[in-house]
Amino acid sequence: MINLETPRKHRMVIDQAHQVAMNMLRPISRKYDRAEHAYPKELDMLAAMIDGLSESGTAEGAGAAGASQPTPAAKEPHDPTKVRNGANLASIMSVAEMCWGDTGLLLSMPRQGLGNAAIAAVANDDQKARFKNVWASMAITEPSMGSDSAALTTTAVKDGDHYVINGEKIFVTSGERSDAVVVWASLDRSLGRAAIKSFVVEKGTPGMKVERLEHKLGIRASDTAVITFTDCRVPAENLLGSPEIDVKAGFGGAMATFDNTRPLVAAMAIGCARASLDLTRDLLEQAGVVIDYDRPAILQSAAAATFLALEADWEGAKLLTMQAAWMADNRKPNSLEASMAKAKAGRVGSAVTLGCVELAGTLGYSESELLEKWSRDSKILDIFEGTQQIQQLIVARRVLGLSSAELK
């Protein structure tokens, strides 16, 4: 039976994440929003602390790298009568708390990149051990592919004990700062989605070049890069998972990464929106607006009623996100729920943060408070890792039992 209350065993690490967000991230939030592309050196100490907690087992798998996609082949047999609250749930809840502090800084955290979640999703045991302490970003999007990840044109051709990668990737989060990039490329474009694999390309590899950094609306503390690969030779053992092309499995291997990362991005939206709600409630109370949870919204002021509606929508997004993570922990297919969580949380994050700007009036629009910044930061969370429209399309396919060819 699923229980979406915060599990007791995760409360300590979640409380620690909140303290870090409040005392370390929030105070430097505006500084690095203004100093775009400047690396937040304060994060080095925080990363070392998280590494120490992970080594000791205290962190309980929290963070992007802690998320995983359990499989029936796991060493310990799964008891369907036993409910697990594992690393996936700990990860999304700790990530939400960190984004309550600052989303851009969370995305800048060493060894907490989306590429780390991709490694956790599809790498074999040997690869997980080799890349354990690597900070990995993820390179999927290309200039001409739009939102269709299967339309990528980057190729990886086998040459002896290496693969030769050619192509261009855009919007690579932490693309300049990370130690390595998880690159999606096709082994054989004629075979379509089934031939798409991911490769860990370490920085300094000849043929890999960071062309430029983007100037952005939000998450300005995080660098976003354009990277080109020109005859870039990558060791064959850096291909994540199996090198075999299984046409029947289709895009399944690649989609396992999204099943992992989409709840994490949903959690980011939840954390950012929660920050806006918390501050807005305080500002409304200072202005004399009373929010009464024991009275119907229709009997309260327009501002209170609007706030209650925003908070209710946020609660729905949070529960969907927790459900997707809980299903992964309990070895249940969660592709539908991961997309539902990402779609709901992405949309709600933007609606809540903008709604809070409106409720706060001039304080919401000025830089005297962080509300305007959070509204800028939240927009990307409705776009990357699959746009709102793509998520709705995936949900429709799952619900109707149709393939990507049948429902476009």
Active site residues: 385
Element (H, E) at 365: helix 362-365
The 10 Å Cβ neighbour count of residue 319 is 15
Q: Specify whether the CB–CB gap between 263 and 321 falls below 8 A.
A: yes
**CB under 8 Å to 81, separation ≥6 — which residues?**
none
Q: Specify whether the CB–CB gap between 264 and 67 falls below 8 A.
A: yes
* Pick from 186, 162, 129: nearest CA to 237: 162
Task: For residue 250, give Cα distances in angstroms to 194, 351, 390.
Answer: 4, 35, 18
Task: Report how far residue 307's alpha carbon sits from residue 292's, in angstroms, rounded to the nearest whole number.
Answer: 11
* Pick from 86, 390, 85, 71: nearest CA to 258: 390
Q: Specify whether the CB–CB gap between 343 and 337 falls below 8 A.
A: no
- Position of tokens 């609660």? 315
* Pick from 38, 40, 59, 41: nearest CA to 49: 59
Q: Specify whether the CB–CB gap between 171 and 380 falls below 8 A.
A: no
Task: For residue 123, give Cα distances in angstroms to 127, 132, 319.
Answer: 6, 11, 28
Tokens of 182: 């998880």
Tokens of 158: 């086998």
> What's the maximum distance between 2 C-alpha atoms anywhere in the chain?
73
**CB under 8 Å to 160, separation ≥6 — which residues?**
none
Q: What's the angle, vertex CA 130, arms to CA 233 and CA 75, rounded to 5?
A: 125
